[in-house]
Each structure stands twice: as C-alpha cells, then as structure tokens.
Amino acid sequence: MSIFDRLWNALRPNRLNDEIRQELETHFALIEEEEEARGLTPDDARVRARQRFGNTGAYRDKTRDVDLASWLDSFRQDLRFASRQLGKSPGFAISAVLLLALGIGLNAAIFTIINSVILRSLPLPEPERLAIVEEQQGVFQTPPSWPDQLDLREANRVFQSTGASVADQISSFD
C-alpha cells in the first residue's frame, strides 16, 4: 500500500471499512456456495459458513486495526524523518516556514478583500433587483457626486428607491 493509499484510508475510514467488509463478505458467500453445492439448504449453509468463518464483525475489526496500526506507524516514521531532515538544515526550515506564512497571510488578506467586495452581496432584501448607477465623463467612469445623487433621487421614476454606498458600507437608503 502506498503512502497515498494509507492517507486516503485514514481520511476516509469508511472506505477502508467498506473494502474489508467486501473482502470478508466474498469469502463468506463462497463458503455458502460451496456448502450449498454439497446439498445443504441455504439456511444450513449459512449456519455452516458462520461456524467455518468465525465472527465476521470481530475479524473485520481486527483486520481494520491491523491496517490502521501500520498506517499510524509509517506516519510516525515519516514525521520523525521530516523533522530530522528539517533539524539538519535549520536555515532552510526557517525560510520555508516564513515563506509559507507569508503566502498564507497574503492569500487570507486578498480573500478578505474579494469576499467583502465581490462575493458577499449587499445586506439587502432581494439583492438581485439592485442596479448600479454610474456616471460616464469622457473615458472616466465615476460614481455620481452627492448633489447628483440627490437629484437622481428626486427625479427617479425607474427605481423603487435609490441609495449610495462606499465599498460595502451603505451610507444612505430610502
């Protein structure tokens, strides 16, 4: 079993359980088939299979424990190996950790901005009915000035109401 299989198994213990269950079930079914071929009724064959195989649940647990124990063992070895390697070259270890910290921090910062500006919709009912009004002055697109916004509000016949917002902070709405 490769380290990836082991990792996968540890993350998805259900999959490991399913595989072991499948394996034992096949064996059990084959015994039943054999006993039925000898002339036993399906019920008797099942009883006989139970005698021959032993306690399915107990063997399933035992088998899973064997796999998990060996996985934990190799995980511990990998961990020890990794820390020993890092301890050998502390300069590399420190710069790797700093670089990771920087990268993760930058990611978190950028996500925070994107989340508030783009991803999170305005805290209003029915945000899908919102429209953004902007002014075009030559090549520049600018938000309307405050007096213009007051005019827009007075003359508005298209929208139910108008408001102004800076970034994601709503300053006025009615």
Partner 1 sequence: MSAKHQNDRLQGTLDLLILKVLARSGPMHGYAIAHRIHQATDDTLRIEEGSLYPALHRMTNAKWLRAEWGTTETNRKARLYKITPAGRRQLEEEEQRWTQLTNAVWKALRFA
Interface with partner 1 by CB under 8 A: which residues?
A: 1, 19-20, 22-24, 26-27, 29-31, 33, 52-56, 58-60, 62-63, 65-67, 70
Q: How far is the CB of 50 from partner 1 (least distance, A)?
A: 10
Q: Residue 29 or residue 110: which is nearer to partner 1 going by CB? A: 29
Residue identified by tokens 């009883």 is: 47
Q: How far is the CB of 38 from partner 1 (least distance, A)?
A: 13
Q: Residue 38 or residue 120: which is nearer to partner 1 going by CB? A: 38
Q: Residue 65 or residue 151: which is nearer to partner 1 going by CB? A: 65
Q: Residue 31 or residue 164: which is nearer to partner 1 going by CB? A: 31
Task: Provide the 3-class DSSP secondary structure of residue 161.
Answer: coil
Q: How far is the CB of 70 from partner 1 (least distance, A)?
A: 4
Q: State the DSSP string of 85-148.
A: HHHH-HHHHHHHHHHHHHHHHHHHHHHHHHIIIIISPPSSSSGGG-----EEETTEEEPPPHHH
Task: Provide the 3-class DSSP secondary structure of residue 54.
Answer: coil
Residue 87: both structure tokens together: 């301890």
Q: What's the CA gap between 170 and 174, in Å, rounded?
A: 11
Q: Residue 58 or residue 108: which is nearer to partner 1 going by CB? A: 58
Q: How far is the CB of 10 from partner 1 (least distance, A)?
A: 13
Q: What's the CA gap between 28 and 47, in Å, rounded?
A: 11
How long, in residues, is the chain?
A: 174
Q: How far is the CB of 43 from partner 1 (least distance, A)?
A: 20
